Amino acid sequence: MNFWQLRNQFYEMGCFNVNQVYAWHPDFDKNNLSRWTKQNLLVKLRNSWYSFPEYVKISNFHFFVSNKIYAPSYISLHSALAFYGIIPEAVVHTTAVSSLKKANFENLFGSFSYQRILPDLMFGYEQKTFLNNRSLLFATPEKAILDLFYLYPMYSNEQEIRELRFDEDFLQESLNTSQLKEFTERFQSKSLRKRVNLLLKIYGLC
């Protein structure tokens, strides 16, 4: 099998792993992947995962990569908040939440950071479709805020919360406060409830 046969088989998937290659072609020589990566025909994402360099230029493809290379996970925290325009800063790392252990990866698509939460807290995300019907898992704005407050306890006073510079128009017009409160109770965390109540008070959302 040559590279172009592999490309024709997997290019439309965006990302693929070695097991998928073996399922398609059981006698495949894995050394080909290293050779084609050195020739810049493939991009290695992490152990066993690969993509194609043409995708590097496609907007938001790094979110798709994040979902694929470490599952189960969903985009959340600073990446989701920036995507929704809730915080103004550009985010260097692609941030996600997973029920697996913490992890970090770097590849041609960027830096990927995964924070761990309990399996019972893996909720509040939705499937988004982009790039020829490819789907990815993305936190709702409400869950992204809660994941941030839960995993980063430094956001426990008014000064720290204000320094996040949440977009007030979004909070006033688009934030689903009922869902925010409902999701908060599912965490069963008194400290998280206090942070959420403080956020609502600061921005007059009580």
Same domain for 171 and 73: yes
Q: What does pLDDT average to over the chain?
A: 96
Same domain for 143 and 116: yes
At 142-159, the pLDDT tens digits run 999 999 999 999 999 999
At 171-204, the pLDDT tens digits run 999 999 999 999 999 999 999 999 999 999 999 9
Rounded CA gap, 92 and 141, in Å? Answer: 19
Same domain for 98 and 28: no
Residue 4, H or E segment: helix 3-10
Domains held by the chain: number = 2
Same domain for 68 and 52: no
Residue 17, H or E segment: strand 15-17
pTM score of the predicted model: 0.94
| pLDDT given at position 1 | 84
Q: Which amino acid is at 42?
A: L
Show the domain range for 44.
Answer: 3-57
At 98-131, the pLDDT tens digits run 999 999 999 999 999 999 999 999 999 999 987 7
**Beta strand ranges found along 61-190 (DSSP E):** 73-75, 93-98, 103-107, 110-116, 125-130, 134-139
> How confident is the model over 87-101, as a mean pLDDT?
92
Rounded CA gap, 10 and 24, in Å? Answer: 10
Rounded CA gap, 186 and 140, in Å? Answer: 15
Same domain for 146 and 189: yes
Check pLDDT > 90 for residue 89: no
Same domain for 53 and 69: no
Same domain for 90 and 152: yes
Distances (CA, A) of 26 to 1, 30, 49, 189: 11, 10, 17, 49
Same domain for 65 and 39: no
Same domain for 190 and 130: yes
Which residues, other chains included, contact 48 with Cβ-Cβ below 8 Å and sequence gap of 6+? 17, 18, 19
Rounded CA gap, 136 and 61, in Å? Answer: 10
% pLDDT > 70, the chain: 100
Same domain for 131 and 35: no
